Amino acid sequence: MPSSTGENTLLDGFRLVPGRLDREAQEALRDAIRAVAVEAPLYRPSMPRTGKPFSVRMTNCGPLGWVSDQSGYRYQPTHPGTGRPWPAIPEVLLSLWKELADYPHPPEACLVNFYEAEARMGLHQDSDEAEFAAPVLSVSLGDSCLFRIGGLDRRDPTRSLRLASGDVLLLGGASRLAFHGVDRIYPGTSTLLAQGGRINLTLRRVTKPDESPEW
């Protein structure tokens, strides 16, 4: 791992699958996400209360999408700009979830974050969902980034690792609510996106399901 602070070990349930998607699969997924962004354009969300804009642009696909504005963080079924329902989650992502999530129900939201060279994401928890038994599954496309993960308290020590295009990361079990963030982007480390930058796709189950599997 490139850097670390403190001596903590990663929480149980954290899993990194380096290079899970080869170049061909990355290109296919990139094209699928481009189609999503045509139907549900990237927009720049803002922080609750302050209205400060995020450094990333985002969109969503799936029955629900995560949004942030001065009213707060929440999931909703429609794009905040167009008012239209979010497009469907690409099949390749649903297949990855089936393969790696170890959870019997499908994801309901896929948050698409686009990081330009100077974009960051501060330490945060993915805690706006009602269902924490399902992991968060994250896919990296494009330029590499320095990802940082800590514990269940913002003040816990953190460790850092580099994520490259095609890597898949899961936060499940004890790590499901770990604080995590992106400290920097490494421009020019991938040729997947013609103009550079990084796409992060985050699959989440939002609501508690019935007992019977939905697949």
Question: What's the burial of 81, exposed, middle or buried (CB within 10 Å: 0-12/13-18/19+)?
Answer: exposed
Q: State the Cα–Cα distance between residues 106 and 160, nearest whole angstrom.
A: 29
CATH number of the domain enclosing 53: 2.60.120.590
pLDDT tens, residue order, the chain (215 aa):
333 333 345 899 999 999 999 999 999 999 999 999 999 999 999 999 899 999 999 999 999 999 999 999 999 999 999 999 999 999 999 999 999 999 999 999 999 999 999 999 999 999 999 999 999 999 999 999 999 999 999 999 999 999 999 999 999 999 999 999 999 999 999 999 999 999 999 999 999 998 666 77
159-163/144-149 β-pairing: antiparallel
**168-193 per-position pLDDT tens digit:** 999 999 999 999 999 999 999 999 99
Residue 50 lies in a domain: yes
Residue 128 lies in a domain: yes
* Number of domains into which the chain is organized: 1
Residue 149: domain span:
3-204
Contacts of residue 81, Cβ cutoff 8 Å, sequence gap at least 6: 41, 43
Residue 215 lies in a domain: no
Enter the tokens of residue 132: 């924490």
**75-88 per-position pLDDT tens digit:** 999 999 999 999 99
Q: State the Cα–Cα distance between residues 172 and 37, nearest whole angstrom.
A: 28
Torsion of CA 46, 76, 109, 169, to 10 degrees: 30
